[in-house]
Amino acid sequence: MNRLVDLDVVSGAMRGAEGLEGAPPAELPPAEVVIVGCFEGEEPAAEGLPEELARAAARCAARPGFEGREKQRADGSLDDGPITALSVHGLGARDALDGRSLAAWLERILEGLRIDGIGRVLWVLPDAVATRGAAAAERICRRLTLGAYRFDRYKGESARAPVRLGWMGLVPPAGEESTYREALATVAPVAEGVTFTRDLANTPANVADPAWMEQQARTLATELGMEITVLDRPQLEERGMGGLLAVGQGSAVPPRLVRLTWGTEGPTVALVGKGVTFDTGGISIKPAARLDEMKYDKTGACTVLGVARSVVRLGLPIRLRAYVALAENMPDGAAYRPGDIIRCYNGKSVEIMNTDAEGRLILADALALAVEDGCDALVELSTLTGACVVALGHHGAGLFTPDDELARDLLAAAEEAGERLWRLPLWDEFVEEMQGTHADLKNSGGRWGGASTAAAFLSQFIGEHRRWAHLDIAGPAQIPKEQDGSQGATGYGVSLLVRWLRRIAA
């Protein structure tokens, strides 16, 4: 796992103990650079800095051409003291700064710090709505803690220049010191879950096959004291889990269903994740373009494991049940075909229209098992449809649920976590479109409304359980090649679900 940045709230060193007037300031912590924001048309947001640093920031901002616009930057050096350089960055208009634009500002600076090989950084946060309150503090601290992440384990030594970014001090807005210190108590366990998810998802399919994913789950269970059960091919056959068996039968590595359990008190929550370790499309084979990205079709499963890691680290009072459905969708002489009819765990038969609509088949068995085991609430995550990416782009995930209260809770948790989620319809007409000709159901409803028809298919494996939700994370689960920034898995969903679980645990 990649090292997390060590983050401290150091405002007491600037303003005196807990920011009280008249308290003697502590020694300024050493740093290679101090980052100061500046709103357009305003002085730099340097409140809390020692007077000489505040004057240096003002000199930088007074340079010709610097107006505090987004992406503007003015640097200065300091002659002596524990900080050697200062960098003033434009924040744009004050009333335009929200959580997302602030996150983009932080990430732009972090990328520069990584490139420049900076090791110790002091941040002075501007006083704004986007930097105040517990949710904002957690979002900001989490992003900074993850600032050193990169996936380079398969690069040679010469290409793996070490990321020096190791320590950051954070000066919150006045009066927010205790809020940010409280945020630090939860940030590291959540950030660990995010990096764990990213590492699993980024690992290529020649390593991360269903057997490897099972072993990662076993290692996690041993490390965290979770109980683990694995259903391999003979047990899947015995239970009649035809969805998993069909999707995985073309691969040299058999499918399996992993179940992790933890906790003895509180509500019982089931998390289900799609783990197609590589998706060729099967007999309905995908085009060659972007086929390399199909290693990310296991991201739902990786996210469930990452959430489990964070939940145990935080010690949340819930009974967690994590289900990870694992298969590799490959075409060979044993692969399932369009026109085949299979039977899933709950007894429903499915006519195969397209072998590239495979994720919903392995989830059908996992969802039916989760409902049979019993739970108060169930949330499933999957990179399920390109249709959801067409609808929402890579900016957010689709939420499908028949339960309005659950929808409100998940949307609120997403807002607090800084991860976009948008509710999409689950109308009866979509269920009708998934009725089969020669079987109970078909696995593809055609081109139109593909994200909703896929969700409607999943709804047929929930039984009478109403408090369930499907999150189609195909868009935000990874940063695509054409988008600026570091390519690869994002760990989307970990922060959102941990925030939601903390809500219901309370």
Q: CA–CA distance from 132 to each of 57, 125, 127 (Å)?
A: 23, 10, 7
Task: Compute the distance between CA of residue 357 and CA of residue 27 in angstroms, rounded to an integer.
Answer: 60
Sheet containing strand 468-472, strands side by side: 227-231, 256-262, 319-329, 268-279, 377-382, 468-472, 397-400, 421-423
Q: Where are the alpha helices (DSSP H) in 398-491?
A: 404-417, 428-433, 450-459
Token pair in block for residue 373:
């085991």
The token duo for 231 is: 């259903």
3-state secondary structure of 168: strand
Residue appearing with tokens 């009974």: 319
Let me know if 286 is a catalytic residue: yes
Name the token pair of 291: 């086929």
Is 502 annotated as catalytic?
A: no
CA distance 305 to 195: 11
Those residues whose C-beta lies under 8 Å from the C-beta of residue 172, and which sit 6 or more positions away, are 9, 11, 125, 131, 137, 179, 180
d(CA 469, CA 401): 5
CA distance 240 to 235: 8
Distance set, CA 215 to CA 45, 221, 222, 262 (Å): 49, 10, 11, 18
Q: Pick the catalytic residue: 286, 313, 319, 467?
A: 286
Burial label, 42 (beta-carbon count in 10 A; 0-12, 13-18, 19+): middle
DSSP helix/strand/coil, 385: coil
Residue 468: phi, psi to the nearest 5? -140, 155
Of the residues 295, 309, 321, 360, only one is catalytic, namely 360
What letter does residue 397 receive in the DSSP assignment? E
Distance CA 79, CA 83 (A): 9
Catalytic residues: 286, 360
